[in-house]
Amino acid sequence: MSGDLKWNKIFGAGLATAMVLVGMPYAIGYIYKTKPPEKMGYFIDAPEEPSGTVEVELPPEWGTVLPVADLAAGEAAFARCQACHTVNQGGANGIGPNLWAVIGGPVMHMPGFAYSDAFNAHKAIAPVWTYDEMDQFIKAPQRHIAGTKMSFAGIRDTETRINLIAWLRSQGSGGYAIPAPDPARQPGAAVPADGAAPVEGGEAAADGQAPVEGAAAAPTAEATTPAQPSA
């Protein structure tokens, strides 16, 4: 008899434990009721997409802005590129290529530098570092040349880019002509029907090439430097 009671107690305890485990979630849910928040904890203020035509920003009017650019400010802007680029004549390559005479020079202008596959592909589209090419690359390296090793985020301020490019031109690229003023780039000028910005028209034919990888001044360094693509 005592043996039977012993096992009955064991089974009873096991059954009671199981019931407690099964019923506990329901009890807790009843005691601690939750309500959805009246306001979301994190509000993302994303601007609405404009319903009308998006205004296209015209590229710099090089014939007007370069002659009056602030070279001292451009040199100061290049400071952020020095971790990856040198700009002195005959200077060694760093994480990015040396940028002496990069403006108006061919993309991948430094022999022996390991340029990226992205630059190899891009040179077929833009073989020379023209003013426009350099400007677009410095503005957003990864967007302009997808796949570049240069991790620099870019320089969004147009005036800073102009000063930087003007200073880079003074570093061995003085022979690269400044184009004549272009009315098509003046404020208020009509943007081409297809929405494309006017071609770098005045850039002394020479500016039809793309910037040398790693030669993209300061922010153009394909490294963490803002100077040109570093391979």
3-state DSSP call for residue 106?
Answer: strand
Q: Is the pLDDT of residue 224 over 70?
A: no
97 pairs with which residues across the strands?
Answer: none
Is the CB of residue 200 less than 8 Å from the CB of residue 61? no
84 within 8 A of 224, measured Cβ to Cβ: yes
Q: What is the pTM of this model?
A: 0.62
Q: What is the pLDDT of residues 119-157, one digit of tens each?
A: 889 989 999 999 999 999 999 998 999 988 888 889 999
Domains contained in the chain, CATH given? 68-174+206-231 (1.10.760.10)
| Collapsed DSSP state (helix, strand, coil) of residue 71 | helix
Amino acid making up residue 94: G
**How open is the CA angle 45-47-48, to the nearest 5 degrees?**
125
Q: Which stretches of 140-223 are assigned E, i.e. beta strand? A: none
Closest CA to 201 of 137, 101, 130: 130
Position 100: which residue type? W
Q: How confident is the model at residue 213 (pLDDT cuts 50, 70, 90)?
A: very low
| Residue of 124, 134, 120 lying closest to 231 (CA atoms) | 120
How far from 196 is each of 57, 98, 127, 229, CA to CA, in Å?
10, 32, 20, 24
What sign does the dihedral 174-179-181-187 (CA atoms) show? negative
In this prediction, residue 103 carries a pLDDT of 96
- Cα distances (Å, whole numbers) of residue 61 to 12, 89, 111, 150, 183: 90, 28, 32, 27, 8
SS3 state at 186: coil
Task: Band the pLDDT of 183: cuts 50, 70, 90.
Answer: confident
Q: Which range among 3-7, 57-61, 90-94, 163-167 has the greatest average pLDDT?
A: 163-167
Question: Cβ–Cβ contacts within 10 Å for residue 28, how many?
Answer: 9
**213 in Cβ contact with 119 (< 8 Å):** yes
Q: Is 113 left (phi over 0), alpha (psi -120 to 50) or beta?
A: beta
Helix (H, G, I), strand (E, B) or coil at 225: coil
Which one, of 117, 140, 206, 144, lies nearest residue 169 by Cα? Answer: 206
Q: What's the pLDDT tens digit per position in 60-77? A: 999 999 999 999 999 999
Half-sphere exposure of 48 (CA within 13 A, CB side): 3
User: How remote is the C-alpha of 229 from its chain's centroid?
Assistant: 12
